[in-house]
């Protein structure tokens, strides 16, 4: 199709299409005889994605980063659109909730402008938190050899000790029913999510790493994969029966783990289940004692590994779950690896 036909098809203008071409977002072929631009189905799908992202105010530079791979499939283009739209929807939801709180406070006799400012600042901080998470560990580079990496024994400190036992314990603990949908957050290559697959159940895998999702798709094509992360899950409310996660939550900073739990609660159906196997300490005292023992042993490798990530304080997670009407159980595998099971 030529540019005028494409413009009409996607409800934009030839000028806009040329602008995106100038910015390097699209690269249609040119007819060798008349130099007219010629758009393939893949070009049109890519352009539709660009337009959808612009509709929700994603910047041109950000779109270029999101669409870095020019060979994406239709599913990948649509996945990017969904993830971006969910983040925008959540931002709007946060804004509405904040306005509701402002209206409620404005009706109080002791209302002050300072209260309104505090709520506005909270909204600004929440927006920043949801969008600022960065993969400082470069999980894309781990994807191809990830399964070998997690099975390797460490010399001074092996974070994957009891890894397989933890995954099996998660599967044994949750109660799946025919027709249930499970969500695996930080699914990686699918080691946990694949254990939940059956003829009667569905599995959705969420990860922020495109390459991890690609490997997961290759290994377990029955898993539906979606790009996203703990703080902005690409699902609407009350969509899944079971949420699992393994070795992923410790990549979320401590102050953001409660937001991650709120997100899980949002997408979980009534009476749903959450099961998290991850690197965590029972409480601050447990962490302090363990770090002291490492220091006494001169195990700097272990100290550096722990301080490079965000091992959870299990007691804080349990406190939130309990306050939000979850029945909670725990299982300790070793000093740094535990499981939390919560039923809504």
Eight-state DSSP code of residue 252: S
Query: What per-residue confidence (pLDDT) applies to 69?
Result: 78
Dist CA 233 CA 206 (whole Å): 8
pLDDT winner (highest mean) among 20-29, 49-58, 101-110, 260-269: 260-269
Q: What is the largest CA-CA distance in the chain?
A: 76
pLDDT value at residue 307: 93
pLDDT above 80: residue 186: yes
pLDDT at 153 over 60: no
pLDDT at 240: 97
Mean pLDDT of 87-115: 71
| Stretch 229-250: mean pLDDT | 94
Q: Is the pLDDT of residue 335 over 70?
A: yes
Q: What is the pLDDT of residue 339?
A: 98
What's the mean pLDDT in 157-169? Answer: 92
Higher per-residue pLDDT: 201 or 157: 201
pLDDT score for 258: 93
The model's confidence at residue 113, banded by pLDDT at 50, 70 and 90, is: low
For the chain, the average pLDDT equals 86
Rg (CA), the chain: 23
Structure tokens at 25: 């977002």
Tell me, rounded to whole angstroms, the distance of Cα 155 from its chain centroid. Answer: 31
- CB-count burial class (<10 Å; 0-12, 13-18, 19+) for 269: middle
Which pLDDT score, from 0 to 100, does residue 272 have? 97
Q: Are 7 and 13 in contact (CB under 8 A)?
A: yes
Adjacent-strand bridge partners of 278: 338
pLDDT at 134: 61
CA gap 311, 163 in Å, rounded? 16
Bridge partners of residue 172, in order along the sequence: none
What percent of the chain lies above the pLDDT cut of 90? 51
Compute the distance between CA of residue 58 and CA of residue 215 in angstroms, rounded to an integer.
28
Find all residues with CB under 8 Å of 79, minimum gap 6, and list them: 225, 226, 227, 234
Specify the pLDDT at position 142. Answer: 61
| First-to-last C-alpha distance (Å) of the chain | 52
Instruction: Quote the pLDDT of residue 245.
Output: 98
pLDDT > 70? residue 132: no
């Amino acid at each position: 199709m030529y540019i005028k036909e494409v413009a009409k098809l996607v409800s934009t203008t030839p000028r806009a299409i040329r602008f995106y071409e100038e910015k390097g977002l699209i690269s249609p072929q040119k007819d060798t005889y008349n130099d007219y631009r010629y758009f393939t189905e893949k070009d049109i799908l890519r352009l539709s994605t660009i337009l959808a992202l612009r509709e929700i105010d994603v910047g041109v530079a950000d779109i270029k980063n999101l669409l870095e791979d020019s060979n994406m499939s239709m599913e990948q283009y649509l996945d990017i659109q969904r993830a971006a739209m969910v983040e925008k929807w959540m931002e709007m939801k946060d804004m509405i909730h904040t306005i509701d709180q402002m209206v409620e406070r404005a009706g109080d006799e002791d209302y002050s402008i300072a209260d309104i400012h505090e709520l506005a600042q909270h909204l600004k901080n929440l927006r920043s938190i949801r969008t600022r998470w960065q993969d400082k560990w470069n999980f894309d580079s781990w994807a191809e050899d990830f399964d070998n990496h997690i099975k390797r024994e460490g010399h001074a400190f092996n974070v994957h000790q009891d890894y397989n036992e933890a995954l099996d314990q998660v599967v044994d603990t949750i109660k799946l029913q025919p027709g249930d949908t499970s969500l695996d957050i930080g699914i990686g290559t699918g080691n946990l999510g694949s254990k939940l697959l059956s003829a009667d159940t569905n599995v959705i895998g969420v990860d922020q790493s495109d390459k991890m999702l690609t490997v997961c798709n290759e290994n377990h094509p029955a898993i539906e994969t979606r790009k996203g992360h703990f703080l902005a899950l690409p699902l609407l409310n009350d969509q899944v029966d079971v949420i699992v996660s393994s070795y992923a939550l410790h990549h979320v900073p401590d102050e953001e783990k409660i937001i991650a739990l709120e997100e899980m609660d949002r997408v979980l159906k009534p009476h749903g289940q959450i099961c998290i196997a991850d690197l965590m300490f029972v409480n601050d005292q447990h962490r302090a004692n363990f770090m002291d023992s490492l220091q006494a042993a001169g195990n700097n490798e272990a100290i550096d590994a722990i301080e490079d990530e965000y091992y959870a304080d299990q007691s804080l997670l349990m406190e939130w779950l309990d306050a939000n009407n979850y029945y909670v159980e725990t299982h300790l595998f070793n000093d740094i690896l535990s499981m939390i099971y919560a039923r809504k």
